[in-house]
Amino acid sequence: MMRYGTDHNLSGPAPVHASARRTGPFFGAIDLGTNNCRLMIAAGTPNGFRVVDSFNRSVRLGEGLRASGRLAEESMKRALDALRICAERMKQWPLVHVRAVATEACRQAANGREFLARVQHETGLTIDIITAREEAELALESCSPLFRQPEHKPVQADRGVLFDIGGGSTEVAWVRIDPERQTQTLIGTTSVPVGVITLQEMFGEGHGSSYETMVSHVQDYLKDFETVHRIRREVTLGKTRLIGTSGTVTTLAGVALSLPRYNRAAIDGLTLPGPSMVDAIGSLRRLDRDELAEHPCVGAERMKFVLPGCAIFEAIHRLWPVEDVTIADRGLRDGMLLRMARDHGQRSGKGRSTTSRHATPRSRGPFGTYATI
């Protein structure tokens, strides 16, 4: 599912302003997922990073993977086209470090490593296949400050569920929160081998009775994780946060707020009542295919994946019915950039904090400023 926000679907390299080149150091991060190819370029700052360029394209790399076990030629061509743009965009910046990662589609495909060797040959980009555990760690890195206690909540949360609904898998992390130190520690993670593309290929677009079948299918994968960690018991104590990072949850937040178009500043970090998210799902389920395609928060490109994404969200929320849901418009790129900026600062002796784990968006510049917390 495409994640909305500051990403720009441009067909070629973006112009680089001379004023932007005077600050640095610069870092680049690429996230090649099952559905999307994303690039973010940022300048390091004393407390984090400032985004100077961003690119996002739907490539559907994992389309047909479940049936064949291989990446299809057309899917690889779409991804290569997007990666060529990423490579050209990065050439315009004096990058001191680049990290490019691939996730579930390349993990599962029999020809995943062969494809990445082709990418390296044709674009010069070296892309690492990361584990599901590292995916969860990067997501936690990017979402760390969202675990802070909301002002309207009198009880301090000491646990959290962080989930990321992708195209080929859904990553779920069970997190210990230390309110005093404002730190988070992974207790456990699970990678559900179901994302919006795989679910759509298995059950269709989610209209009618197939929707509940999707919900049940996803919950079957979560039961063992629940048995081990007994998360539902913690939820009943009222001390658990639920944080989602994906195009599904940002879309649902946009629908819940009746936004005429997506506004990252209004969504990222927003906490909504769980029933508001469920009501947003209900409103989408009442729409037919044409109406979903015309919806300003969905669109024709995402129309067939939106209800499968909703089903994954409902599977999680029904199993762990936390009262409120916090929405994150941030992900792997943010986590990679934070690590690069922090590590570079430590190596250069500039004293960036070693305990800071994320960035909070500021309202500066066309792409945003991030500062570690």
Structural domains of the chain, ranges and CATH numbers in brackets: 18-130+331-372 (3.30.420.40), 145-328 (3.30.420.150)
The predicted model scores a pTM of: 0.85
Residue-level pLDDT at 26: 97
Answer whether residue 364 shows pLDDT above 70: no
Could you give the C-alpha distances from 357 to 24, 162, 258, 281, in angstroms and in order?
A: 20, 15, 32, 32
| pLDDT reading at 250 higher than 80 | yes
pLDDT at residue 156, as a whole number: 83
Local confidence band at 358 (pLDDT 50, 70, 90 cut-offs): very low
**What confidence score (pLDDT) does residue 373 get?**
26
| Torsions phi, psi for 312 (to 5 deg) | -65, -45
How many residues does the structure list for the chain?
A: 373
Say if residue 25 is preceded by a cis peptide, omega within 30 of 0: yes
Least confidently predicted of 93-102, 243-252, 364-373: 364-373
The pLDDT value given to residue 360 = 38
Q: What is the mean pLDDT of the chain?
A: 87
Cα(52)–Cα(28) distance, integer angstroms: 10
Q: Give the residue, 373 or 173, on which the prediction is more confident.
A: 173
pLDDT of residue 347: 78
Please compute the mean of the pLDDT values over residues 1-11 and round it to a whole number: 33
Residue 359: which of 128, 130, 29 has the closest Cα? 29
Least-confidence region, from 148-162, 163-177, 316-330: 148-162
**pLDDT class for 9, splitting at 50, 70, 90?**
very low
Identify the burial level of 222 via C-beta atoms within 10 angstroms of its C-beta, where 0-12 means exposed, 13-18 middle and 19 or more buried: buried
Cβ-count burial 3-13 (b if 16+ within 10 Å, e if not): bbbbbeeeeeb
Give the pLDDT band of residue 48 (cuts 50, 70, 90): confident
Q: What is the pLDDT of residue 152?
A: 62
Query: CA 355 to CA 373: how far, in whole Å?
Result: 9
How crowded is residue 234: how many other Cβ atoms within 10 Å of its Cβ? 19
pLDDT digits (tens, 9 = 90+) for 56-115: 999 999 999 999 999 999 999 999 999 999 999 999 999 999 999 999 999 999 999 999
CA distance linking residue 234 with residue 320, whole number of Å: 9
State mean pLDDT over 212-224.
98
Using DSSP's 3-state secondary structure scheme, residue 24 falls into coil
Q: H helices within the chain, ranges in order?
A: 65-68, 73-91, 104-108, 112-123, 132-143, 196-203, 210-229, 231-236, 247-256, 264-267, 274-285, 289-294, 303-319, 332-347
Evaluate if residue 147 carries a pLDDT over 90: no
- Average the pLDDT over 1-21 and give the result: 37
pLDDT higher than 90, residue 217: yes
